[in-house]
Amino acid sequence: MAATDRAIELTTAAASAAADKLGTDIVAYDVSEQLAITDTFLIVTAANERQVGAVVDGVEERLRELGAKPARREGNREQRWVLLDYLDLVVHVQHSEERSLYALERLWGDCPRLELGVEEKR
């Protein structure tokens, strides 16, 4: 079973919002075959804690426009790795140090990667 159209819509919108806030290394995976709890993972890197917060705010604002609110949010206080759980989509916004340390791509790299069509602003 592949990710739903709604999950892909939310993932693409979240990726675009993250790029608008200067998030980098934006990748998304269809994890629907591996996990029963969500369809897609979006992983975004931010250079510092303030930028993690800005990316999170941008993603939440864009997805709110699409009628989606996170069911759960974790890591907001430290701003090093914030997880936004939208049920169909889980967004991981990570400080660059956390991104390299935890290397989520190694865990989920076997899952199909989603083409986002998002251009990062550097």
Mean pLDDT across the stretch 61-71? 97
Class for the domain spanning 5-108: alpha beta
Strand pairing report for 89-95 and 40-46: parallel
Q: Where are the domains of the chain?
A: 5-108
pLDDT for residue 122 is more than 80: no
Please list, in sequence order, all residues whose beta carbon lies within 8 angstroms of the beta carbon of residue 34, skipping any fewer than 6 positions away.
108, 111
- Is 0.85 surpassed by the pTM of this model? yes
Percent of the chain, pLDDT > 90?
Answer: 84
pLDDT for residue 1 is more than 70: no
The per-residue pLDDT of the chain, averaged, comes to: 94
- Identify whether the C-beta of residue 15 lies closer than 8 Å to the C-beta of residue 114: no
- Identify whether the C-beta of residue 93 lies closer than 8 Å to the C-beta of residue 50: no
Instruction: Give the tens place of pLDDT for each residue, 72-101.
Output: 999 988 899 999 999 999 999 999 999 999
Mean pLDDT across the stretch 46-71? 97
Percent of the chain, pLDDT > 70?
Answer: 98
Task: Note the pLDDT of residue 44.
Answer: 98
Task: Note the pLDDT of residue 76.
Answer: 82
